[in-house]
Amino acid sequence: MSYDLIIRNGHVIDPASQHDSVASVAIRDGRIAEVGEIEADASPELDAGGRYVLPGLIDLHTHLFKDFSMFGIDVDALSPRTGVTTSVDTGTAGWINYAGFRKVIMEPAETRVLAYVNLSGVGLPWRSGEMVFEGYVQPAACAQAILDFPENTVGVKVRLYRGVGGDADLRDLLQIAIDAAQRCEKQLMVHISGSDVPVAELLSPLRPGDVITHCFHGGEIASILDSAGKVRPEVRDARDRGIVFDIGHGFGSFSFDVGRAAMEDGFPPDTISSDIHTLNIDGPVYDLPTTISKFLHLGMPLDEAVRRSTLEPARVLGMEDEIGSLAVGSVADVSVFDLEEGAFELVDSDEVKVTGDRKLTCYATVKDGRVSYRAT
């Protein structure tokens, strides 16, 4: 039997197929063809001995509208060298300029790019945010932009921080965002950090499948924790009825203290994402593997951290039969990582520094069956 590529003898962790042992992964025609002990033959090989072989990482929260937003990063410059094969832009483009985002960013990218469309028509052009003026917030137009381009469009994004809508009540803005999402029958992702509305009031109107991002932000208002540092009952109820809690580390939205308290209280995040953009790519975020390493530091087992950056985001996207998995037949998106041991400084969004003892470093990335990155 001959394959296009065999990734040989790595420690395969694939939560989707509950695989957690040393094995080889064979790829043919851009799909996973076989996982296990694979007989030697003349196929091209990638030696993964002593390394971890994972599904290609899925970053559920990124900003990729380069040259059109001061936040946008170069997705193909970052993703391959960090094991990310799918990157989801979260509302850097709005309903006015989404067609341009698709043409300039999504379609030419080597990385698989999906997107949420910002409720504000112009998206997120600059630091002060979306410029949510009355005319820019049109739920019908937002829904139509999504219906015009359903492929790779995940849903609506709204940022609910104090002042984003001028004097408008954030509860009203949330209702408009839900209206937009309902009109196109898509999910809504809600940014909660910096909000002046308690989290329970932001959660109650959400529907199963909607996503809260920045769930471990360190601000007091709209925190998932109560004043005693315990997870609020409304937050647990929301998870029970299918609301997704995403990290979205970002420049100002991930706190080790909140993460530690939530996880000690039995509330890990559903998905681990970076919220990578130009203002945090040189720290404190750097990339998704660094964000995952912070969860290893907080005590999350490696296989759980992998699940929350592969299978779980694939489920949020409704693509778990295609990506985020090394099951035979899945798209051949694979990442190979070294888990380095040592002393690594890790910094959160509140400039709290810790010393981690393990750090994930990408060795190789395979996208659609082709090697897109290999460390030299």
Binding residues (CB under 5 A) for Zn ion: these are: 275
Least Å distance, CB 61 to Zn ion, is 6
CB of 321 to Zn ion, least distance (A): 27
Q: Compute the least distance from the CB of residue 90 to Zn ion, in Å.
A: 5
User: Which residue number is nearest to Zn ion in terms of Cβ?
Assistant: 275
Shortest distance (Å) from residue 45 CB to Zn ion: 39
Which residue lies nearer to Zn ion by CB, 255 or 365? 255
- Rounded to whole angstroms, the Cα distance separating 38 from 32 reads 13
Q: Which of 142, 200, 128 is nearest to 171 (CA)?
A: 200
Token pair of 224, please?
Answer: 């998932």
> Which residue lies nearer to Zn ion by CB, 72 or 165?
72
Name the residue nearer to Zn ion (CB basis): 24 or 290.
Answer: 290
Instruction: Return the number of the residue (130 or 320) whose C-beta is nearest Zn ion.
Output: 130
User: From the CB of 364, what's the least distance to Zn ion, in Å?
Assistant: 28
* Complete DSSP assignment for 179-205: HHHHHHT-EEEEE-TT-SS-HHHHHTT
Closest CA to 134 of 178, 172, 185, 90: 172
Q: How far is the CB of 191 from Zn ion (least distance, A)?
A: 7
Query: Helices H, strands E: what count in the chain?
Result: 10, 15
Complex with Zn ion: residue 76 or 275, whichever CB lies closer = 275
Nearer to Zn ion by Cβ, of 278 and 361: the residue is 278
Q: What is the gyration radius of the CA atoms in the chain, in angstroms?
A: 20
Reduced to 3 DSSP states, what percent helix, strand and coil does the chain have, rounded to the nearest 5? 25, 30, 45
Within 8 A by CB and 6+ apart from 39, the residues are: 1
Q: Quote the CA–CA distance of 33 and 6 in Å, as a whole number.
A: 10
